[in-house]
Amino acid sequence: RSGSPLSPPAAVSQVTVRDALNQALDEELERDERVFLLGEEVAQYDGAYKISRGLWKKYGDKRVIDTPISEMGFAGIAVGAAMAGLRPVCEFMTFNFSMQAIDQVINSAAKSCYMSAGSISVPIVFRGPNGASAGVAAQHSQCFAAWYGHCPGLKVVSPWSSEDAKGLLKASIRDDNPVVMLESELLYGVPFEMSEQAQSKEFVIPIGKAKIEKQGTHVTLVAHSRPVGHCLEAAAVLSKEGVECEVINLRTIRPMDIETVEASVVKTNHLVTVEGGWPQFGVGAEICARIMEGPAFNYLDAPAVRVTGADVPMPYAKILEDNSIPQVKDIVFAVKKTLNI
């Protein structure tokens, strides 16, 4: 930043998703002594992805806790701690490993408030990388947005940019309900512009509100997590051909902001959903069903189109992996198909 009083302060700076998450954790640990972080390698090693870099040195053993490799065990400890009044942030090294703890997430965390008639709240965040990384094959590559989005009692968020990551993590930690935060490992090192407002300690993004990343008039593109970037790239390509895409970053999977999608479809009359997960019973399938059942259906000039991951366990070979994940060309193709051009 320039020190001269005449020059305006720099309004935006480049921050990686990793640093945005680190900032959010640091600020919330400082703000509320009930918040603590636990998971594999989060303390002395600074986190498997360096999200928790420096936090153990700053806050010590009680606030940043290394656990054994037992997801069911440490997720259970975290849920119990939340029921007893603390606010745990439980990191899974990848959400594929949350399957070891899915009983704790669904049966203990998600259902307790309802089953206790509201007398037990479970303010907990389950976070970590979700979906495909690169070259880690089938057991480490699936997207859990549809899995956890299916379950009442949970809130599910899926950030794309650094601003999303910081604002949603802070909102999740402050929320009195269990929140599943699905990050993308491939975005951790990606820098995004962050405004001064987004870098303030009180910046939060409300859970359940989508963001229109680009205004457009011809077709609505809806995505979450990394595919939001692909949609913006596809929109740039299509713009040169005279097609203006409206790009919606869902941000939250549950509760889903279907109103923003509906308003956009009413304007553009076309819908394409994009996700990295499998097609069957996916996030895109839910969006299409909700549009079908709601007032925006009458405004569609063509069937909605889904762009999804391939309906296979993720292959290991790079060329097969690339063909199993939605690419920019797949989005461009889907848009042209729905616009009949």
Catalytic machinery residues = 71, 140
What backbone torsions phi and psi does residue 99 show, to the nearest 5 degrees?
-65, -25
* DSSP state for residue 11 in the 8-state scheme: -
Q: How far apart are CA 141 and CA 94, in angstroms?
A: 9
Q: What is the DSSP string of 182-250?
A: EE-GGGTT-EEEEETTTTSTT----TT--EEEE--SSEEEEE-STHHHHHHHHHHHHHTTT--EEEEE-
Q: How many CB atoms lie within 10 A of CB 205?
A: 22
Q: How far apart are CA 127 and CA 82, in angstroms?
A: 15
Of residues 150, 249, 146, 154, the one with CA closest to residue 205: 249
Q: What is the DSSP string of 146-193?
A: HHHHT-TT-EEE---SHHHHHHHHHHHHH-SS-EEEEE-GGGTT-EEE
Q: How far apart are CA 236 and CA 49, in angstroms?
A: 31
